[in-house]
Amino acid sequence: MFKKILIANRGEIAVRVIRACREMGIATVAIYSDGDRAALHVRKADEAYHIGPPQASESYLRVDKILDVAKRSGAEAIHPGYGFLSENATFAQACADAGVKFIGPTPASMETMGSKTRARQEMEKAGVPLVPGTSRGLESPEEAERVAGRIGYPVMLKAAAGGGGKGMRLVHSCDELRSALEATESEAQRSFGYSEVYVEKAIVNPRHIEIQILADERGNTVWLGERECSVQRRHQKVLEESPSPIVDADMRRSMGEVAVRVAHAAHYTNAGTVEFLLDQQKNFYFLEMNTRLQVEHPVTELITGLDLVHLQIRIANGERLPFTQDEVKIRGHAIECRIYAEDPDNNYFPSPGKITLLLSPSGPGIRRDSGMYEGWTVPIDYDPLLAKLIGYGTDRQHAIMRLQRALNEYFVAGIKTNISLFQRILQDTDFQAGNLDTGYLDRLLAKEKMPASQRAPSPAIAAIAAGLFSVLDPVSASRKNGSTGGTASAASNWKQKGRSEALR
């Protein structure tokens, strides 16, 4: 087994990997920028090395600096976490050239799946179901118009090298297409340094379902159930859960088998995620493959009892998967909320600053993966993800109840967070019923902006109103409840008043 691993990342995922290494008896090396000198992952690691200024381009994205730290520290392997260089084939190859094991897939697999158009080409050969569209970059606006006219509007323009919700445009008509294509190509060039854009049919109100896979270096591949990732804002996941409320055993098996076929077509090893769109007729289509550990991996860990980071490290060490597909069991339900430093009252604008008070939830069925602590100053230079709060229960309703309790215990002062957003989501009747698609959150937020007179009262407000009504007009209330007495008893009235006060 590796004796020392460098974590080429920051924040909660760096802390997560450090903890896994410590459990396995592996020493850890952290890297940090000027903006992260006091970060939690720096405090937790056995060693920490400064690599540059706050700008990611001069620190966490500098392959040369990271490999220099690996050499100086004697690290035998590098775990990339997610984001930054985690899906960078050039970095994976540089690690191999330097004699340092990259804990992830091979550079060739990353190149195949990193380009959306190349991935579509390989999936076509493998017989994987695809959304109708092109499998190569568009060469001209005229070609875009021909293809869109053939497959039918609405269509989605996508950057071939896209990810994280960037480089995407929904186009409803031919009149919008040329300007949208120009804007998407420009965004793709700015964000990814590669302007290639392709087009595919837009699935109306789809669900976003993904399958976690693991593959060792001896050809064994398994799938570990699905995750529902339809609660999104600006194409970015906000809340994930497993299992999906809409996926039954047969669909789960079919999607899992297709995900394994995708992995084999890409000659994939280590942990990865195959993402699908599910239409309203429950047909699923390959969307893309994320060649790394996902932010939402804890929900899979909770329902399977497996530690994905441990398994990543063991696979990278050349070990065989310690179980077969038949031995994978799914138990219970898990839901994850991504806690961001952002202001819900200001269009979710990032909210950096010093955390002056932190009260963290705990108790049965609650897991918290966090990169923050009281007194820490959240930098403005990086993604505002602070922590992940995960609730686990015997079934979906149990998980929701536990997560609601935990969110009510969670308090962060000094900065703004999106905790209140999850409190609203979890009490929403559509969410509780599992009526989800990728437009769900936009509809919920739009509904909250409606004038109060146009909104139906929530169950909680209705209950409070009923309680107050019974106190203020006990005669009418007693008649409505079928009482034969002319007035409510003094004891009954006292109880009702006490209950209504408690609800305030």
- CA–CA separation, 153 vs 142, rounded Å? 15
Distance of CA 428 to the CA centre of its chain: 20
- CA–CA separation, 387 vs 15, rounded Å? 11
Active-site residue flag, 314 = no
- Do residues 164 and 132 lie in contact, with contact meaning Cβ atoms separated by under 8 Å? no
Could you tell me the two tokens for 337? 């909320």
Per-residue CA distances from 502 to 63, 112, 253, 341, 458 (Å): 58, 59, 48, 32, 18
- At residue 381, the 3 state secondary structure works out as coil
- CA–CA separation, 174 vs 148, rounded Å? 8
- Do residues 203 and 285 lie in contact, with contact meaning Cβ atoms separated by under 8 Å? yes
Could you tell me the two tokens for 338? 């991504």
- CA–CA separation, 472 vs 460, rounded Å? 19
- Do residues 226 and 247 lie in contact, with contact meaning Cβ atoms separated by under 8 Å? yes
Pairing of strands 349-350, 342-343: antiparallel
Q: Counting every residue, how long is the chain? A: 504
- CA–CA separation, 440 vs 281, rounded Å? 18
In one-letter notation, the amino acid at residue 3 is: K
In order, the DSSP letters of 324-372 are -GGG----SEEEEEEEESEEGGGTTEE--EE--EEE---STTEEEEE--
Pairing of strands 4-7, 77-79: parallel
In one-letter notation, the amino acid at residue 160 is: A
Name the active-site residue from 62, 169, 292, 396.
292
Ramachandran category for residue 200: left, alpha or beta (phi over 0 → left; psi -120 to 50 → alpha)? beta
Half-sphere exposure of 258 (CA within 13 A, CB side): 26
Could you tell me the two tokens for 354? 């010093």
- CA–CA separation, 17 vs 83, rounded Å? 14
Which are the catalytic amino acids?
Answer: 292
